[in-house]
Amino acid sequence: MKGMTIIVKTITDFVAAFIVVFGAYIVLYGHLTPGGGFAGGVIIACAFILLMLAHGREVAFARLPERAAHIMDSSGALAFLIIGWLGVTGGFFFLNVFGRGDMFRLLSSGMILPLNIAIAFKVGSSLFLVFAALAMFRRRSFRAMIEEELS
Amino acid sequence: MNPVPLYVAIPLGAAFLIPLLGMWWKKSGETLAVLSTLVLAVMAILAIGTPAMVHHMGGWTAPLGIALVSDGLTVLLLIAVNVIAFLCIIFSLKYMKVYTGLTKYYSLFMLMVAGMNGVVVSGDLFNLFVFLEVASIASYALVAFGVEADELEAGFKYMILGSVASVMILFAVGTVYAVTGTLNMADASREIATRFGGAEMNPALLLAAAFFLMGFGLKAALVPFHAWLPDAHPSAPAPISAMLSGVVIKSLGVYAMCRVMFHVFGFGTASPSSAIIANAMIGFSVLSIVVGGLLAIGQWDFKRLLAYSSIGQIGYVTLGIGVGARVLATGGTRSLAALAILGGLFHLINHAAFKSLLFLSSGAIQQATGTRDMKMLSGLRKRMPITAATTNLAALSISGVPPFSGFWSKLIIIVATIRAGLMGVAVVAIAMAFVTLAYYVKVQREILFGPVRGPAESAKEVSPLMYVPMIILAIVCVGFGLLYPVLGSRILEPARDALLNGAEYVKLVLG
């Protein structure tokens, strides 16, 4: 059987969705409460990393394909830059040109919320890809390395 | 609105667009990289002679928000970075064909350019650190791009030492923030000037200056912080070596050091503390000139020889600037300090031109003959006339043969050093200029002249995409030597004045 024991797998399946929801909350309320795009993105990535640890790479990639992660990675960063450029319509790079809204509402503080979402996509997908890249390499035993060196 | 943010935004946009479009369009890397570096190079050249300007990010004015500043010194560095980046990209089009994962290469390349432009235009200490990391991390990956064992080792070594430097710089930024309560360079400089102007500095600030000197010194590969460079620069693909030796060590090391020392620690005014820092700068420079030069003589790997030569030549650049700082700190005449700094900056831009040319030539030779071992090569003058001619020009220029550019910049530095009363240093600088000549004569004798034998027999001239950038750089080497009266007043003197007039920088940023 691939991956870890049935206990770990069951619990992982159960909590992964909650972790994603919590991460999304951290991202969306980043401008009101502690947190933000970076922290939320890391939490969302953790859900997928947990799936990868418990079930192996194939299951994690079935939920979030590598290609989709790459697209989100680049387009998140690009979205951040484009939102920054929208400020140029007001004369300054990163000028907050969106409506500010009422204080302490979800839809307030102009471009901070879209920027947090862009950062969450970028950070979450990159962290997932970094972990996937590390998981690609199987560690060789020290003995095997020595034997190879001697032969 | 002014164009300063574009220097960061264009390469950053290209860096993220390349991998995205690269999934469907194989040529995205080449096309976007050529287009964006061309636009950047043209923008940088058009910026010559424009008045100094500042862009307040997000509309937040200076001490609160992040300011992007463009003054004479910035323009000098922007021209060096972006023009050389464009030429290296053109060179890469053909040279990099043998590698795989080219979208990643071009993406990292653009990220490195974005980081360097960011360091150059930033007016905020922490922002400078962030861009420095962006450029450094991109360059660690690019050094290891060939993923052979020795390339990975060089990249790893570079990453470890580079991270040590970054920690030092971060620590220094934190200390300056603790003492002055601001991260804006102009604001910090005003604070330091009002509290310590002309007097002994707070020990915490001296510690910060020492950490800046070590951190930026490591990025600039000054001896004794140079250990990473002789591995990293030869291991990278040739266009990356050209970028690293040509502009990365200058924009991340020398430029950042000058900007922080002159525009935060206030080198413009006489004070015992700046004299200590300036003397340390001169000490590191002399060590670099001597150690880099002497180690270069014994090298038989062409790129490794060039790498050691970079250490020696960067020593001349910081020597000029250090002597200028020392003259100012000890209450010497302003015109003498101006001369020394002008020499340093002139050598900076000259070295950017001829060292990138030499590294591109080494790449062309390696591709044509399959080796860079100087013992195996001989007589390339007959087989690769264009590469041989450009290599020759660059070698003559770097070793200080009149009338090429390197002669004039070294002459200015040495004259200023003598007039500043540092006879011993001047004698060392002159002696090591002859050593430079000696090892470039060795390059010419071993590689270019002599009978055609070994791998040179089957060598053919490289494609025009590779030799045209080399010819352009060779023209620049000759042009900087002959056209100084035109160039000096347009590019170098504004840069020198920007560095000397710290008060004007404060006025520009804070309004």
CB contact under 8 A, B17 and A85: no
Are B261 and B169 in contact by the 8 Å Cβ rule? The answer is no
Provide the 8-state DSSP code for B56.
Answer: E
Q: Which of A15, A31, A19, A25 is nearest to A109 (CA)?
A: A31
- Structural domain contains residue A117: yes
pLDDT at B269: 79
pLDDT reported for residue B218 = 95
Compare all CA atoms of chain B with the CA of A77 and give the residue at the minimum distance. B16
**Residue B115 identity:** G
Query: Which residues in chain B touch residue A77, judged by CB atoms under 8 angstroms apart?
Result: 12, 16
CA distance A12 to A23: 16
Question: So what's the pLDDT on residue B306?
Answer: 94
| DSSP output for A49-118 | HHHHHHH-HHHHHHHS-HHHHHHHHHHHHHHHHHHHHHGGGGTSTT---S---STTSSS-STTHHHHHHH
Position A16 confidence tier, pLDDT thresholds 50, 70, 90: very high
pLDDT at residue B49, as a whole number: 85
Asked if B55 and A70 come within 8 Å (Cβ–Cβ), the reply is no
Q: Under an 8 A CB cutoff, do A95 and B59 touch? A: yes
B236 Rama sector, left if φ>0, alpha if ψ -120 to 50, beta otherwise: beta
Question: Is residue B58 within 8 angstroms of chain A, CB to CB?
Answer: yes
Q: Do the Cβ atoms of B55 and A67 come within 8 Å?
A: no
| First CA to last CA distance, chain B | 17
Low-confidence ranges of chain B (pLDDT < 70): 1
* Tokens describing residue B203: 């020990």
Task: Say which of B20, B58, B59 has its CB closest to residue A78.
Answer: B20
Chain B residues touching residue A84 (CB < 8 angstroms) = 9
Give per-residue pLDDT as tens, A18-70. 999 999 999 999 889 898 899 999 999 999 999 999 988 888 889 889 899 99
Tell me if B57 and A93 make a contact (CB, 8 A cut-off): yes
Under an 8 A CB cutoff, do B9 and A85 touch? yes
Query: Is the residue at A1 inside a domain?
Result: no
Would A31 be classed as within a structural domain? yes
Q: Do A93 and B12 touch (CB under 8 A)?
A: no
Identify whether A45 is part of a domain: yes
Residue B398 CA to residue B85 CA, distance in Å, equals 20
The structural domains of chain B, with segments of one domain joined by +, span 6-510
Please tell me the total count of domains within chain A. 1
Q: Which whole number is the average pLDDT over A75-83?
A: 93
- Closest CB from B19, B55, B57 relative to A74: B19
Instruction: Name chain B contacts of A87, Cβ cutoff 8 Å.
Output: 58-59
Q: How does residue A1 score in pLDDT terms, banded at 50, 70 and 90?
A: low
B55: chain A residues, CB-CB within 8 Å: 92-93
Contact A88 B12 (CB under 8 A): no
Is-contact B168 B257, C-beta < 8 A?
Answer: no
Using CA atoms, how far apart are residues A68 and B474, in angstroms rounded to an integer? 46
What pLDDT sits at residue B266?
A: 82
| Closest of B310, B482, B276, B467 to residue B384, by C-alpha | B467
- Predicted local distance difference test score (pLDDT) of residue B331: 85
Partner B, chain A 36-95, Cβ-Cβ below 8 Å: 67, 70-71, 73-75, 77-78, 81, 84-85, 87-88, 90-95
User: A87: domain range?
Assistant: 6-150
101-130 in chain B: CB under 8 A from chain A: none
Residue B1 has a pLDDT of 62
How far does the CA of residue B13 sit from the closest CA of chain A (Å)? 6
Residues 256-275 of B with CB under 8 A from A: none
Task: Please say if the pLDDT value at position A140 is more than 70.
Answer: no
For residue B78, the model assigns a pLDDT of 95
- Global model pTM greater than 0.80: yes
Q: Which of residues 37-56 of B touch A (CB under 8 A)?
A: 55-56
